[in-house]
Structure 1
Amino acid sequence: MEKNLQKTYTFKEKMKAMGPGIIIVGSFLGPGTVTTATRTGAGFGYALLWTVVFSVIATIALQEMSARLGIITQKGLAEHITDIFEEQPIMKTIAILFVGGAITLGGIAYMSGDLLGTSLGISNLTGIPTNYIAPAIGVIILILLNVGTVKWLEKILGVLVATMVTVFVITMVVVKPDMGELLTGLIPSVPEGALMNCVALIGTTIVPYNLFIHCTNAKNHWNKPEDLVLSRWDTYFSIIVGGIITAAVMITAATVMRGMTVNSAADMAVQLEPTLGAFANIFMSVGLFAAGFSSAVITPLGVSYVLGGLLGWKLDKSDKRFFYTNIGILLLGIFGSATGFNPLTIIIMAQALNGIFLPVVVVFLVYVTCSKKVLGEYANSMWINLVGIAISVITLVIGGSSVISVFKSLMG
């Protein structure tokens, strides 16, 4: 049973202490979220709104476990995964290859989507092809990774999140969605042809490498059991706000764009016309750029944290292996974004890929945080373990169904 957590904080103190949670929201609120939620709303109405609710609840539960693990043990999630198999070298190697491979592939896909989303915004305003813009954005991000700081990034992401909340929530209210249909969308169901969107919505919110980033950032931000109160506030508040944005995007698209085909930033801007009128296209373009840029800065760091923790590297740019991993993910992401495929299709496929890999990471996280040997009195309660197992099973079933569906379509 947890103790020494009875200290109370004012709202101002809680807001001042926020940080790691904002990083996570800034990461998952990239162009993938906006694109996936818009296409889902336009194509299937409110039917998959339940997926957003599930994703928010699951993200809160998993990120809380991750932060608690980091604060109490002052070690990263990747380090704990290797510790599990410390006396079993073969299993340790398999775990490193399995987790590291899944996170790396998912990170490359996510990086491509982030760069395309960033480039899509600029391309919509200038007419310059996205495959020309993406490399330039990648170089800028590379520079930022070497001269920027997490504290500076947290502040920028906080402003971006606040702006997106305001615009999309106001628009959601202005368009007056059908409340009956909206409530029906909270009942779990997957319409025909919506499975990939369902997996993508989960993958764009519960990002596997974010569980590693949050563990590391939380241990760097806090170091006492008493800090769990602030950490939980930071996690709950940030992710709920992120979930509101995702839901608002889907609801406005379902209300304004039902039945429309979404192939460009200009198409996505239609949902904001009730609020912004002629400025909707400009705002959507700038928003995609900002969301993609903020998410793209974090993506290579996320993969580097995972590989560094698994392989025992120093987790900062002073370690050349950490530094070159950042460069590698960026370069591969640039390559993926310059292939010439439809940008929105690549973005959604990237989210779906993360959704498929998610159960692998969730199983390890729940296993570590339920261990009293690792966390003592701060180990998961029975109910938290059940929630973690349920999330693992649900994501495994949905992700597995998606893989089977894709395989069947490829086989004709």
Structure 2
Amino acid sequence: MKNFIKNLGPGVLVSAAFIGPGTVTVCTLAGVRFQYGLLWALILSILACVILQEMSARLGLISQKGLSEIIREEIKGRTFKILAIALIFSAIVIGNAAYEAGNITGAVLGLEAVFGKGNLQAGAFSLNLWSALIGGIAFILLFLGSYKALEKVFIALVLLMSIAFLVTAVITKPDILGILKGFIPGHFAEGTLTVIALVGTTVVPYNLFLHASLVSEKWKDAAELPVAQKELRVSIFLGGAVSMAIVICAAGAGLTNVENAADLAVGLEPLFGKFATWFMAIGLLAAGITSSITAPLAAAYVVKGCFGWKGGMGSKRFKAVWATVLVLGVIFSSLQIKPIEIIQFAQIANGILLPVIAIFLFWIVNKRSVLGEHRNSVRQNILGLLVIALAVFLGLKSVITVLQNL
């Protein structure tokens, strides 16, 4: 056990990354709108996350490189290489900008629950001061490179909120039969976008890039692969349990509409009573700031690998990428759109981008020149293809649903 705790790291960060404001919001909405009916979608999401993140971890440990760097090296044709890099670049930067807006908005929800709204009107443009404040904090921490010092505090707060949901899910004495029925697939027509959002908030595309880099830094020997795989599975399954607990809490809260942190906090009232809103506000703020730092940083690492840039966080080009994603996140978060809708859109965007990144990852982990004897087995290929097929289906379904609603 002591050795296992010592090896905790990349998997925990991946798990903590998807237990952010997006997960809290989307899982709450799923519980409010469909009760326990979409628990099956979370199970699929968790399994898909384990399958894809294991490929990413194996790639990082064996190759000792990042995913975007390997893609750039392995694609030989100039035209195809340019197209692939452009696709990955746009997918990650645009996707992370949308995800960043959701992260910042989640933190804003926490501040608004305690201090109220803070909008500055300048002609036709309205700036959310809380969004600018969160963006400013993230910018300073990234610029100074001191975010790691605070990261442990933020993750601790998010984990505390996660434990609260797990405990609340138990003490509310939920409908066990209803929960069991929730693992049977249903609500296909009316729940499509929510299912995609659940997938998008669990299997985060940029985590596939980030995880490979984190693993390559922590472990150097192929003999440590089983340890990395075990750490990953335990972390993600625990994170998935928290997501399901949030759905269960929301389903038992009797809500009919969710627009702010106070609404989200209703699910925690059985445990925290009148302090539930404060607890949810602190949790959303911590989760939002943590994710607001990691999302731009991940985008910068992806772009760095795509273009083969040298230098680390201190280079001007590296800073320009994360700053751009951060600014876009603040702008999108300031738009006159309901915060809950922004967060949900970010998860849907992730769900649409996922197939693109998953296909590139699947191609790389099957190359003998990269992974040698550690390339995908037949079983891993079958599971990988099933995940990709599911991601493509949900992505297409999302586009069709959105077009039909125009």
TM-score computed with the length of structure 2 as normaliser: 0.95
Given that 1:120 and 1:265 are in contact with CA atoms closer than 8 Å, whether structure 2 keeps it comes out as yes
Instruction: Describe how 1:124-139 pairs up with structure 2 within 5 A.
Output: 124-129=113-118, 131-139=128-136
Q: Which residue of 2 aligns with 1:33?
A: 23
Please list the CA deviations of residues 248-276 of structure 1 after superposition, one character each: whole Å capped at 9, or x if unmatched: 00111012235x11111111111111111
Partner residue in 2 for 1:333: 329
Distance 2:284 2:395 in 1: 27
Is this contact kept in 1: 2:141–2:147, CA < 8 A? no
Residue of structure 2 aligned with 1:345, choices 341, 360, 364? 341
- Structure 2: runs of 5+ lacking an equivalent: 120-127
- Measure how far apart 1:339 and its partner are: 0.8
Pick aligned residue for 1:372 from 368, 375, 398: 368
Letter in 2 for 1:126: F
The superposition leaves residues 355-388 of structure 1 with CA deviations (integer Å, 9 ceiling, x where unpaired) of 0110000011111112222101111111111111
- 2:109 paired with 1:120: yes
What corresponds to 2:268 in structure 1?
272
Distance, in Å, in 1 between the alignment partners of 2:384 and 2:92 is: 19
User: Residues of 2 paired with 1:330 and 1:278: CA distance?
Assistant: 34
2:300 to 284, 297, 304: 304
> 2:390 matched to which residue of 1?
394
Aligned partner (choices 72, 77, 81) of residue 71 of structure 2: 81
For the 8 Å contact 1:165–1:244, the answer to whether it is kept is no
Deviation at 1:57, TM superposition (A): 1.0
Measured after TM superposition, the shift of residue 306 of structure 1 is 1.1
Which deviates further from its counterpart, 140-149 or 369-378?
140-149
State the distance in 2 between where 1:187 and 1:129 align. 43
1:384 aligns with 2:384: no
Between Structure 1 and Structure 2, how many residues are aligned?
Answer: 398
Distance apart, 1:157 and its partner CA: 4.9
Deviations 1:48-107 (A, max 9, x none): 101111111111111111111011111110012112312x00000000111111111110
Q: 1:305 deviation in Å?
A: 1.3
CA distance in 2, matches of 1:231, 1:75: 16
Matches of 2:155 and 2:233 in 1, distance apart?
Answer: 15
1:24 to 2, 14, 36: 14
How far did 1:310 drift? 0.7
Structure 1 residue 229: deviation in Å?
2.2
Amino acid at match of 1:48: L
Q: Give the equivalent residue in structure 1 for 2:94.
A: 105
2:252 is the counterpart of 1:263: no
What SS does structure 1 have at the residue aligned with 2:237? helix
CA distance in structure 1 between the aligned counterparts of 2:81 and 2:226, rounded to whole angstroms: 34
Provide the C-alpha distance between the structure 1 equivalents of 2:352 and 2:89, rounded to a whole number of angstroms.
15
**Letter matched to residue 313 of structure 1:** W
Decide which of 344, 349, 356 is 2:352's aligned counterpart: 356
Where does residue 240 of structure 2 map in the other structure?
Answer: 243
What corresponds to 2:167 in structure 1? 170
Question: Once the two structures are aligned, what percentage of the paired residues are identical?
Answer: 40
Q: CA deviation at 1:399?
A: 1.4
Show CA shifts across 1:199-240 (max 9, x none): 000001100011000001110111111221221122112111
> Cα RMSD (Å) of the superposition?
1.5
| Aligned 8 A contact 1:190 1:198 in 2 | no
Distance 1:69 1:149, change over 3 A: farther
The corresponding residue for 1:3 is: none
Which amino acid is the alignment partner of residue 41 of structure 2? T
Secondary structure in 2 matching 1:256: coil
Instruction: State the secondary structure of the residue aligned to 2:252.
Output: helix
Aligned-pair CA distance for 1:128: 3.2
| TM-score, normalised relative to structure 1 | 0.93
Deviation, 1:191, is: 4.4
Write out per-residue CA displacement over residues 30-56 of structure 1, whole angstroms, 9 at most, x where no aligned residue. 111000000110011111101111111
Whether contact under 8 Å (1:362, 1:392) holds in the other structure is: yes
Per-residue deviation at 1:150? 7.0
Structure 1 residues 92 and 226: CA distance shift in structure 2, 3 A: same
Whether 1:213 aligns to 2:210 is: yes
Quote the offset at 1:154 in angstroms.
Answer: 5.5
Question: 2:184 maps to what in 1?
Answer: 187
Amino acid aligned to 2:79 = I
Higher mean displacement: 108-117 or 190-199: 190-199
The answer on whether the counterparts of 2:158 and 2:283 sit within 8 Å (CA) in structure 1 is no
